[in-house]
Structure 1
Amino acid sequence: MITVVGSLNMDLVISADKIPRPGETVLGKNLQQIPGGKGANQADAAARLGAEVILIGCVGEDDFGKRLLNSLKQDGVNIENILIKQTQSTGVASIIVEASGNNAITVAPGANYHLTSEDVEALRTVIAASDIVLSQLETPIDSVRTALKIARSSGKKTILNPAPAADLDDDILSLVDILTPNETELEYLSGHRTDSIENILLAGKILIARGVKELVITIGSMGCVHMKGEEATHYRAHQVNAVDTTAAGDSFSAALAVSLSNGRALADAIGFSMKVAAMTVTKKGAQTSLPHLEEVEAFDEWIKLQQIDSRGETE
């Protein structure tokens, strides 16, 4: 079983030719309301991949909250431990997706920032019964810390997707088995630029020196890098025509958790996760873009239909 501790947002998505610069107004093409939030995305992705998933988080007592809960329930996520904060609004994310597939996101956390350490502690038995605990940083850092501590004291594997980028002390890093930043988050955490594979490796070594056990760094179209101790492996990405990268990191981290919970070796889990992320970026939206297990199992046929080169080899 996988327990995800994290956020739930309603994503208000606008498609545009480009992301506006400061002070610039850009006309969008349409507006969609799509279930999102990094915690909900990861829980939903894991459920679609066949895992038993519990989500711990908060929504407000409003229409957005009800719609988010219904959507997750329909995909098989256990929503019994999602708290309804009656005096708060459900979190909202404003997302602009440009023609290239890149996006810019602004989040109003709402109820997400009212998930307290006490709330998480009250669900200790739920966390302790899990195989893997997966979290992100769209809820208060103390709630994340508490979840990781409970998981560690219970002997469970922990995965932290440090997004959005935030300061993490060595205490939190010591509680993480696998950290899954993208290159921007890695640069923030390490203080070292990440504009090349060489610099990514140097930045990763800084976090390893701070006590991170393993890093799986996602680097978009360049794939990902796994680092453990002095060892580093670069996995090349499957080349696809990306239309929206909104939930790529979420689907990757979720797939990693699912694979590891099924007993796969980390290298195999990374390979599976890269397939999931590749499929995710070819569809628009957050949870609307997440593939089901049967789709991923047919990946080889799917990639042929894309009429592109899919390598996925390591070096």
Structure 2
Amino acid sequence: MASTDPVVAVVGSYNVGLTMQVPAFPAPGETVVGREFAEGPGGKGSNQAVAAARLGAESRFVGRVGADRYGDDAVALWDAEGVDADAVTRDEATHTGVGFVIVDEDGENEITVAPGANDRLSAADVRERAAAIETADALLVQLEIGDEPVRAAVEAAAAAGTTVVCNPAPARELPADVLARVDYLTPNEHEARTLAGAGGDGGAGTDSGDEGDGEGRGAITDEAVARELLDLGAGTVVLTLGGAGALLVSGDGVERVRAPPVDAVDTTGAGDAFNGALAVALAEGLEDRAAVRFGCAAGALAVTAPEVVPGLPGRAAVDDLVADSW
């Protein structure tokens, strides 16, 4: 890989993660007694920026947090992880975003979010900080922020020739002008169907890139949905399939990239690890299949540890796994 550090700009969210382990998810109206509780940093944007930094990139984060203790914690995290947060705004008008996560015995998760400052990240904020994007090798965006800041980010990247990676999570339809500027779109099955207008009933996806058993998935249907997204304007679609790996679909053809087998402990951060790693690999100039394989290795390692940020792997571990044959 390249001898100089790749530069990855991430535009997205920061949320405090409040996580509880439970024996089973509660039914409506049911109270379940939890086992363990943890409070820690989260938000897809921040997680992916940290993931990129741990994998050796010069990672830059553009976002908005509250002028509260959770915002202070965010700044301390980025300092500790080597993430450049000069483009983050401290917002005195609202709170830092908060995410509530419950994880069951099988490592599956359910998540709710109170966005707070994330909802106030504007297109003007992004344009004022466009230099962080224009001088990067790759831009990584997600959908825990509004359409307008996402549009401003991809426009700045496209104008500068910066590779655009969009992780469309949580799932919602994207404006056509935004999708047309995305070089690599990384939905899971549910997100792909939402983007394609097919609804979420055909897929078994959980959080983007999360580990699953891969059983019962229809490869032909996955490919057809991915091709619909190409027709809508995306340059390349990397459809994540959890424990089954990913489907790489472009104008050059279709290729399935298997993920290494692991014992999942907590799938919450798998998608963030995958996307951060994919952006780093693309920024380093890897060809598509190698970049997706690198992402699969990072995602697999992430699910072997509890909690998101503690589970994001370092470069040596990912390189070692990539070097193995699986």
With normalisation by structure 1, the TM-score equals 0.93
Q: Deviations over 1:205-248 (max 9, x none)?
A: 11111111100011111110000026111112211110111111
Partner residue of 2:171?
A: 165
Give the one of 46, 56, 64 matched to 1:58: 64
Report the residue type matching 1:50 in the other structure: G
Q: 2:28 aligned with 1:22, yes or no?
A: yes
Tell which deviates more after alignment, 276-285 or 203-212.
203-212
Report the residue type matching 1:234 in the other structure: R
Give the one of 59, 72, 81 matched to 1:75: 81
* Distance in 2, Cα, partners of 1:184 & 1:132: 25
Partner residue of 1:189?
A: 195
Partner residue of 1:131?
A: 137
* Distance in 2, Cα, partners of 1:122 & 1:275: 35
Mapped contact 1:134–1:257 kept (Cα < 8 A) = yes
Q: Deviations over 1:159-211 (max 9, x none)?
A: 00000001212111101000000111112112332342221111111111111
Deviation at 1:82, TM superposition (A): 0.8
Deviation at 1:68, TM superposition (A): 1.5
Deviation at 1:30, TM superposition (A): 1.6
Q: How does 1:144-293 map to 2 (within 5 A)?
A: 144-192=150-198, 193-194=202-203, 195-229=217-251, 231-293=253-315
Superposed CA RMSD: 1.4
| Structure 2, unaligned runs of 5 or more | 1-6, 204-216
2:161 alignment partner, SS class: coil
Give the one of 105, 114, 133 matched to 2:111: 105
Q: 2:91 aligned with 1:85, yes or no?
A: yes
Report the residue type matching 1:100 in the other structure: D
2:84 alignment partner, SS class: coil
* Distance in 1, Cα, partners of 2:26 & 2:193: 24
* Distance in 1, Cα, partners of 2:124 & 2:237: 29
Mapped contact 1:128–1:150 kept (Cα < 8 A) = yes
1:241 alignment partner, SS class: coil
Report the residue type matching 1:54 in the other structure: R
Partner residue of 1:307?
A: none
* Distance in 2, Cα, partners of 1:221 & 1:56: 31
Mapped contact 1:191–1:203 kept (Cα < 8 A) = no
* Distance in 2, Cα, partners of 1:230 & 1:262: 21
Change (3 A) 1:300 1:160: closer
| Structure 1, unaligned runs of 5 or more | 304-309
Mapped contact 2:64–2:121 kept (Cα < 8 A) = yes
With normalisation by structure 2, the TM-score equals 0.90
Q: Deviations over 1:263-302 (max 9, x none)?
A: 111111111111111100001111111011122233379x
Q: Deviations over 1:94-121 (max 9, x none)?
A: 0001111110000100001110111111
Mapped contact 2:238–2:246 kept (Cα < 8 A) = yes
Mapped contact 1:221–1:237 kept (Cα < 8 A) = yes
Tell which deviates more after alignment, 258-267 or 37-46.
258-267
